[in-house]
Chain A
């Protein structure tokens, strides 16, 4: 390996690391607010890339149908669950958000997709289709379990992942896609040729991180989200609508996932089930950072990206083995650093 290759691998690693960082901080965010370790975050990424690809081809993406299915399922289940406790306002919101919005988006996409309106439209439409999925998934799967232990929520999260991968196959098929970059072109940097898209990925990642910091530290809404994570009953008692904090966290997760998917679609080939591995790598980063620090997670994600890129060069067959095995020394270190008593009050 010479210097140029090393630099090239570093560039690759940093770009992938940036994507993993977006996944990692999202996992930290969702965990902090809802205690859900959101394994299916990767699915949002894959679906966003697949959606962009479908729109580029001028076809109706599977996500449009999927959103409608999720909306109908959520509304139906909520009617069954809540029954007579439903108020008119709730029913109106459900009609609007769960049924009219997905139906409207579907019609819009059927009408507009064949016109191939270009990059900006594709990106906007992808965001519009994916963001509502976050809150819908939360209401379907996690809201009824809001008082359960982290372990139960994790098992549910794995269940959701399982179901979503299957649905992904139904709605997108098994074929892989690659999308056109938002930013095309390259520029030389020493011995390297750098893609503008790579710079875009980095800039977006940094902007998302800054945005999250400002949101949680500076705004009432952000603090309310944190408060709900710390003490749910306390949050209810000061009038924070806790059910909506979960929905907001999941909407943020879906939004960041969609952004990541739009970015990554042009960098690598994405299949319906690619999300899992991408998600898990972000996840390795989040665990290295102990599931609570945003900057540490981002840093760890860069490390994961670099490790992956170099091990792909040296031992490509064992790339995944190496990446997932670094979780073990990390856990050893955490175990040694932790005192004897840790999971008190874990099981409620």
Chain B
């Protein structure tokens, strides 16, 4: 494996006087899955949004050795960064097909057919529903569409914010399978999860976030076995499902 695809150094984000993320540093090795786990309100979503450029931040974000600086969201998309947000943010009154098509916005119409083939192979459900309006999809299908739309932009680093939120266990499992597949196909992945159990199972490396800062990090397997992590994030019946 070569150097890190993404490295974040001393990143801070403030909302007014409140510092939601404080001095956070993180690295993602090319082709790996990294997870950030933590309670609600720990600052995980804020961290993702800052990396994507949706929120202004201080500190350095380097993608592929190039400093992102103050570049705009669309410029970051063009360098191969892509975020699937917690609320999915689909184009609800447009068709599944148009949602996907717009995912390939950075390449223009030429890349659409190719992208469709790839996405429909991974998510056959989306092909069945290609003419349906996105707003009429079920929760699981919406998540699939959000991921499919992200894949249309052929990201080098895919960031997933709470992909399991509001989904039934069976679908969560399916989504994480796809995450693993994507990683095998060479896409680097940063996944933020409250469902720490599932996230630690698929990740290579993990960070624990509390009150806007990282308190721990290490190989995912090691954290999954850590007593403190089990107590705080894995609940009583650790590993009951799956």
Contacts and interface: CB of A to CB of B under 8 A. Distances in A.
Q: Do chains A and B touch in the complex (CB under 8 A)?
A: yes
Contacts of A241: 72, 74
A7 interface: no
A236 interface: yes
B224 interface: no
A224 to B, nearest CB: 6
B101 A223 contact: yes
Contact of B74 (A227, A233, A240): A240
Nearest to A237: B83
Contact of A220 (B74, B89, B91, B101): B101
A231 B74 CA distance: 15
Interface in A290-323: none
B94 A226 contact: yes
Interface in A125-174: none
A70 to B, nearest CB: 24
Given A87-B70, A227-B102, A231-B89, A238 B153 contact: yes
Contacts, number: 67
Contacts of B82: 237
Interface in B65-84: 70, 72-74, 77-78, 82-83
A239 interface: yes
B108 interface: yes
A96 B94 CA distance: 36
Contacts of B101: 220, 223
A227 B85 CA distance: 16
B105 interface: yes
Contacts of A114: none
A220 B73 contact: no
Nearest to A236: B73
B77 A238 contact: yes
Contact of B77 (A226, A227, A239): A239
Contact of B102 (A85, A87, A224, A233): A224
Interface in B50-68: 52, 54
Interface in B92-133: 92-94, 98, 101-103, 105-106, 108-109
A265 to B, nearest CB: 38
Given A239-B73, A241-B74, A227 B94 contact: yes
Contact of B89 (A85, A237, A239): A237
B109 A220 contact: yes
Contact of B54 (A85, A224, A233, A239): A233
A223 B94 contact: yes
**Which 3 A-B pairs have CB atoms at the shortest separation, nearest pair first?**
A239-B77, A234-B89, A230-B91
23 contacts: A87-B70, A220-B102, A220-B105, A223-B102, A226-B91, A230-B91, A230-B92, A230-B93, A233-B54, A233-B85, A234-B91, A235-B91, A236-B54, A236-B74, A237-B54, A237-B83, A238-B103, A238-B149, A238-B152, A239-B105, A239-B106, A239-B153, A241-B72
Given A226-B94, A230-B92, A240-B105, 19 more contacts: A87-B70, A220-B101, A220-B109, A223-B102, A227-B91, A227-B94, A230-B91, A230-B93, A231-B89, A233-B54, A234-B89, A235-B102, A236-B54, A236-B74, A237-B82, A238-B77, A239-B73, A239-B78, A239-B106
Interface of B: 52, 54, 70, 72-74, 77-78, 82-83, 85, 88-94, 98, 101-103, 105-106, 108-109, 149, 152-153
